[in-house]
Amino acid sequence: MLVLDLEPTVKINVNKWLNGDYDAETKAEIRQMMESGAVTELTDAFYKDLEFGTGGLRGIMGVGSNRVNKYTLGMATQGLSNYLLKRYPNQQIKVVIAHDCRNNSKEFARMTAEVFSANGIYVYFFEGLRPTPELSYAIRELGCQSGVMLTASHNPKEYNGYKAYGEDGGQLVSPADKLVLEEVRKIDSISKINFAGKNENIESIGKEMDDKFLAALVALSISKEAIARQSDLKIVFSPIHGTGGVLVPPVLKQFGFNNVTLVEEQMVVDGNFPTVIYPNPEEEEALKMAIDKAKEIGADLVMATDPDADRVGMAIQNDKGEIVLLNGNQAACLLIRYVITAWEEAGKLDGNQYVVKTIVTSYLIDKIAAAKKVDCYNTLTGFKYIGEVMTRLEGKKTFIAGGEESYGYLVGEHARDKDAVISCAMLAEMVAYYKDQGSSLYDAMIDMYLEYGFYKEKLIAIKKEGKAGAEAIKAMMERFRNHPPAVLGGSKVTMIKDYKSSVSKDMISGVEGKIDLPSSNVLQFYTEDGSIISARPSGTEPKIKFYCSVNEPLADKASFESVQEKLDTKLAKILDDLGA
């Protein structure tokens, strides 16, 4: 009787799994959910199929078409296999597979390898957990057509996921992502998944690739002499139980840093992430143990990476000797400014260099790049779009660095995804560079604001779980489209950019223009005083995100605190106006 209370789509999917060739354990779990009256749980697990978002396939682990399990990942892999076989006919297709520390990641990775191998695709399989950026590097290094990373990045422990990559080492973008999805949708029965792996098509890789990857990173160091003089820079590092522990300590050592303190409790590989609430370096709580260690030893720099080591959070000493966190925008601005400056001082800037960022990342980066005559490209949210620009410009222009506000950065062209391994090394190099000049990174940040203006950003993410949450997020975006705010933070809205319709509208003149980016469900509001507010549903999490950026001139260092308070007040007012 309970099944009759389920929505039609849910009912169809539940019956499909109960009557299909799914294993007995899966069917028993579904029946248990039905017998316990878990209508909401069943609905969330079966109301739709998992789809590729900005970060691939990601979701809560468990039974159901909207959950991460061997069947949904198997369908994804079979669909990707079918796409690759059509895309590259009459050639030996090769893929690389890696996984992070999450529960089931190793098993999911092995199953993925077996499906690929069963389809005649040759698999390079990392022998143990490895960072996402090494996977990106390995695809290009081994001449592969694709790759898969089993990870849910920085999501809570209940999640896992599947990042699919193309031959350029970047995550799949349109039209490839849509073509893969079409192939997945054609698999209407798990009997169409070939799980019968062929061991002869699977090759284990490990240390040799690590050594090549690390050598490529060490070659990117710019301020070697400053590092040599500051080799005892006090650094605290934590991988938060993940893959950063494999390669970040070695790369710091090879860069020349000899005084690195590891947070030993978090060096332990554990998919339950027992020492944190969320393994997310964007969260202050995730860096608490590292910061406590830094206070104990008087460290210059604190860094912590997420489970698959593509994001890094950092903290530094302020002018009072306190350890303070930097947000993703601050770190991106400082890192890109440093790399451009170091290139300039080395005489390497010739007008053919560029940087890339996303539309929701600080526009201070645009200002810094323009001042140094370095092109700055803006992309949709998701590092795959930054990688897409890099691939398009390869051989034509020289990529210096890229970044996004969500703590993901890349220096160098060795990968096509954000890389916390090179980011940790270059952030440490940056601190050493300024310390070698008798300055701190905190002072360098204030100097940056004095030169270009004090930019401050804030992100608010509102979580809306399940089907009801998805509908609530959709309604919020429709409200902003149909009834956009006229004033935000006390300043008139002068322009609205709707990336879904690819139209920008000047609210003063009424003139409309075309946005030259792919369609995406993002709204941006520009105000008279230079503030930029973006609204965007997440592609990988059940959230709607509001990105707010405000700025004011900073006349002198003594005004830092007062201007910061003014910007904080403005940010609070904007978020209040949005109802966030």
pLDDT of residue 331: 98
Tally of residues, the chain: 580
Q: Quick one: pLDDT at residue 54?
A: 53
Please tell me the predicted confidence (pLDDT) of residue 1: 39
The span from the CA of 337 to the CA of 314, in Å, is 17
Q: How many CB atoms lie within 10 A of CB 432?
A: 28
Q: What pLDDT was estimated at residue 3?
A: 47
486-525 confidence digits (pLDDT tens): 999 999 999 999 999 999 999 999 999 999 999 999 999 9
Say if CB 481 and CB 493 are below 8 A apart.
no
* Active-site residue identified among 81, 146, 153, 223: 153
| Residue range 48-211, CATH number | 3.40.120.10
Nearest to 162 by CA among 172, 149, 153: 149
User: How many Cβ atoms from other residues are within 10 Å of residue 570's Cβ?
Assistant: 23
CATH 2.20.25 fits 454-578, yes or no: no
Across the chain, mean pLDDT equals 95
Both tokens of 553, joined, read: 């001139």
Q: Which candidate, 300, 302, 304, places its Cα nearest to that of 283? A: 304
Helix axes 328-345, 420-436, angle to 10 degrees: 60
- The residues, ordered by sequence, that sit 6+ positions from 178 with a Cβ below 8 Å of its Cβ are none
Joined together, the tokens standing for residue 479 give 């409200």
Sorted by sequence, the CB contacts under 8 Å of residue 200 that are 6+ apart come out as: 117
Say if residue 92 is exposed, middle or buried (CB neighbours under 10 Å; 0-12, 13-18, 19+): exposed
Kindly state which CATH superfamily the domain 327-418 is placed in.
Answer: Alpha-D-Glucose-1,6-Bisphosphate, subunit A, domain 3 (3.40.120.10)
The alpha carbon of residue 504 and the mean position of all alpha carbons in its chain are separated, in whole angstroms, by 27
Q: Which residue has the tokens 């690929």?
A: 116
Task: Give the model's pLDDT for residue 93.
Answer: 98
Residues of the chain with CATH 3.40.120.10: 48-211, 231-321, 327-418
Which among 547, 338, 361, 568 has a CA at the least distance from the CA of 448? 338
Question: For residues 500 and 518, what is the distance between their CA atoms, to the nearest angstrom?
Answer: 8
* Largest Cα span, the chain: 75
Asked if residues 546 and 535 have their Cβ atoms less than 8 Å apart, the reply is: yes
Only one residue has tokens 């350029």, namely: 168
Position 55 scores a pLDDT of 60
* 353-358 and 375-379 beta bridge pairing: parallel
Output the CA angle 313-319-325, nearest 5 degrees.
15
Please calculate the CA angle 108-112-113 and round it to the nearest 5 degrees. Answer: 120
Residue 306's closest CA among 565, 74, 485, 132?
A: 132
Any catalytic annotation for residue 65?
A: no
Q: For residue 5, give the DSSP letter.
A: G
Number of Cβ within 10 Å of residue 527's Cβ equals 22
Q: Domain 231-321 belongs to what architecture? A: 3-Layer(aba) Sandwich (3.40)
DSSP state of 21: S
Contact 417, 383 (CB under 8 A): yes
Say how far apart CA 61 and CA 308 lie, in whole Å.
17
Cβ pair 521, 499 in contact under 8 A: yes
Backbone dihedral angles phi then psi of residue 104, each to the nearest 5 degrees? 75, -5
Give the DSSP H/E element, type plus range, for residue 244.
helix 244-255
Let me know: does 83 contact 191? Beta carbons within 8 Å. Answer: no
Burial group, residue 420, by CB count within 10 angstroms (0-12, 13-18, 19+): buried
* Residues of the chain scoring pLDDT < 70: 1-4, 52-55, 540
